[in-house]
Structure 1
Amino acid sequence: MLNTKVARGLLLGAAALGALAGSVASASAQGVVNVYTNREPGLYSATLDEFTKATGIKVNAIFSEQGLAERIKAEGENSPADVLITVDIGRIQEALDLGIAQPVRSEAVAAAVPAHLRHPEGLWTALSMRARAVYASKERVKDTAITYEGLADPKWKGKICTRSFQHQYNIALVAAMIVKHGEAKTEEWLKGVKANLAKKPSGGDRDVAKDILAGVCDIGLGNTYYVGLMTNGTNPDQKKWAEAINVILPTFENGGTHVNVSGIVLAKNAPNRDNAVKLIEYMTSPEAQRVFADVNYEYPVRAGIAINPLVKSFGELKMENMSLAEVAKNRAKASALVDKVGFDR
């Protein structure tokens, strides 16, 4: 993680942004861009600082885990927000559903980010990726390749752990399964995975690794970056959880690995639109993409960027080239199917 001084500086920027909310004139000042983000400040502070050094544009940032898209909606034409940085295709879609985004037409972004990781009309672009992986016991699982469809195989009966399937990470996976196979086959798949659960879904992705170490289950679903956070964090217990698992990059049958993204949206009423576009372009530049890859244990969306060595050790990411915009459209259906089969009960 980045040093506390930098993170504190970003939070002080949040205080400044609060003051901006009461003054459209202040928000419209030259040389400023106002960022709303629900990603932890430490994940972006170094990148935003480098952007200021490169452009002279000051970044004011406000962090909150929840409610920022709704806040921008409520602020309306007087919102000081220039961009929203958020995580998960579901939250990105929520911003679009609230009508708070405007399109970005940028040759630099189009050249840096593959089309399936951008909105077809330019309403959002991905900044970084994480794979929805399988955590597998080093002691008890000899498999080195698993498909998502294979999680419903009875061979795993009583051996799978997962967080709630209504959580945004799993909803995105189910939505991708609908895009790939349709609702009927996805429902059957959910029933099969549910039949293989070792326990009722609970906790988070790190808890899956914890349960595997404890022998509660043999495999489970988890995002790739959590392994980096556990391995190189300060919690000795989490280091042990990470040491107990291998990371397998599953694929769809005859396809690739499902990825989710962090993304950026240009606010509909951005008072500093030109500066905001410059920030979006910078966030997809090689300099910024290297930070996402090395510091955040994520996959860069731009080709040719070195991946963190730990993440690289998971094997080559053969990404499913599925439009995430299509995944987003199927989230409601995915949620309904999860409830229909009683997955979390």
Structure 2
Amino acid sequence: MQPIFHRVMSTSTALGLLAGLGIAGGMGLPLGIASAEAQDELNVYSARHYEADDALFSGFTKETGIEVNIIEGSDEELVTRIVNEGANSPADVLITVDAGRLWRADQEGVFQPVESEVLEERIPANLRHPDGHWFGFSTRIRTLYYNPEIVDEPPQTYEDLAAPRFEGLVCIRSSSNIYNLSLMASLIEHHGAEKAEEWANGVVSNFARDPQGGDTDQIRGVASGECGVALANHYYYMRLVRSDDDADQEVVENTELVWANQEGRGAHQNVSGAGVLQNAPHKDAAVKFLEYLATDEAQAYFANGNNEYPAVESALDNPVLEEFGRPKLDDVNVSVYGENQPEAQMIFDRAGWK
């Protein structure tokens, strides 16, 4: 069956074609994107690259009759495109991952505030922008992992990663990675910049190797014994748990997960979110789409498609996530991850965190 939404061209491909035609910045209404007169269509720019998201777009069309056109790209590409298109932009909604990226987009002035009783009721206040510029629809938890054959006393908190007992044992991604920037931003919020920098220095001293690879690579490093402990978003591990591949199952068998800071503020959570764009030609449809993302049906797609926790807790319907439970979570407003991001990067740089 053909999808009832339209995946248009990726933005990198589109910009390349436009450049070849001598059209700078992706201006206008290229690639068959709907014009403002076609009120039964919605144009979504998405930096989420999960096949399971197709169900979100199809589900919205089935429920509303509004067809969805999708442009995909990195968050940087999409925000640049929206800014360059200006008042002529056909984009209605931007979807991306991590509150730090949503903050970056908001700094460019691309979002408009949305007032919706549905969203205010369904989405917890700490998972959305205080003024309604964007809303988080799923959560991802930064999680600790360890190899029980190497580590006798596993870490229980993020702060433990700087403890001397883990010297030469920590595997983690680069400091430029948005997930780590947001974690550091949360540490700044909770402890202040001075203590957060002490932590960064301690973690760097404990590196098992120079930062490299993605989150799954950190987990595999723990399983292989190259590292004793690591940090990665929970859904990467859940993918391995649900995998039929023997090598993935071996990684799971050799790795233990720890929900961090359960005796204190709770585990660091981040969001995948979306907002209505400043020049959205189909604002009403865009708000309807955001409200649809908060329904139990759509929330279940987030949980089952990418093993993310739904922002609406009652919508959780994923056996693997239910098996691991829903940990105590840090309830700080995730918008501070963006606000503290510049200072977080400076701290990482001073600590020599590559």
With the length of structure 2 as denominator, give the TM-score of the two structures: 0.89
- Separation (CA, whole Å) in 1 of partners of 2:217 and 2:55: 29
Gaps of 5+ in 2: 15-27
Q: Compute the RMSD of aligned alpha carbons.
A: 2.3
Alignment of 1:97-136 (within 5 A): 97-136=107-146
| 1:324 correspondence with 2:318 | no
User: Which amino acid counterpart does residue 30 of structure 2 have in structure 1?
Assistant: A
CA shift for structure 1 position 83: 0.2
Q: Is the 8 A contact 1:21 1:27 kept in 2?
A: no
- Separation (CA, whole Å) in 2 of partners of 1:308 and 1:103: 32
Alignment of 1:86-105 (within 5 A): 86-105=96-115
- Specify which of 147, 156, 164 is matched with residue 154 of structure 1: 164
- 1:93-127 per-position Cα deviation (integer Å, ceiling 9, x unaligned): 11101111100100000000111111111000001
> Residues 342 and 253 of structure 1: is their aligned pair in 2 closer, same or farther, counting only changes over 3 Å?
farther
> Residues 16 and 69 of structure 1: is their aligned pair in 2 closer, same or farther, counting only changes over 3 Å?
closer
- Specify which of 69, 87, 92 is matched with residue 60 of structure 1: 69
- 1:201-230 per-position Cα deviation (integer Å, ceiling 9, x unaligned): 111111112211221111100000101223
> Residues 22 and 213 of structure 1: is their aligned pair in 2 closer, same or farther, counting only changes over 3 Å?
closer
- Separation (CA, whole Å) in 2 of partners of 1:288 and 1:138: 37
Alignment of 1:151-300 (within 5 A): 151-233=161-243, 236-251=246-261, 254-300=264-310
- Separation (CA, whole Å) in 1 of partners of 2:190 and 2:344: 12
| 1:14 correspondence with 2:8 | yes
- Separation (CA, whole Å) in 2 of partners of 1:72 and 1:99: 10
- Separation (CA, whole Å) in 1 of partners of 2:262 and 2:83: 37
Of all paired residues, the percent bearing the same amino acid is: 38
| 1:32 correspondence with 2:32 | no
> Residues 76 and 23 of structure 1: is their aligned pair in 2 closer, same or farther, counting only changes over 3 Å?
farther
- Specify which of 48, 54, 58 is matched with residue 49 of structure 1: 58
CA shift for structure 1 position 331: 0.4
Say how many residue pairs are matched. 338
Which region of structure 1 is more displaced relative to structure 2, 24-33 or 187-196?
24-33
Which region of structure 1 is more displaced relative to structure 2, 324-333 or 23-32?
23-32
User: Which amino acid counterpart does residue 205 of structure 1 have in structure 2?
Assistant: D
Which region of structure 1 is more displaced relative to structure 2, 303-312 or 186-195?
303-312
User: Which amino acid counterpart does residue 40 of structure 1 have in structure 2?
Assistant: H
| 1:337 correspondence with 2:331 | no
Q: Is the 8 A contact 2:34 2:90 kept in 1?
A: no
Partner secondary structure for residue 261 of structure 1:
strand
CA shift for structure 1 position 327: 2.0
Q: Is the 8 A contact 1:149 1:252 kept in 2?
A: no
Q: Is the 8 A contact 2:140 2:309 kept in 1?
A: yes
| 1:70 correspondence with 2:64 | no
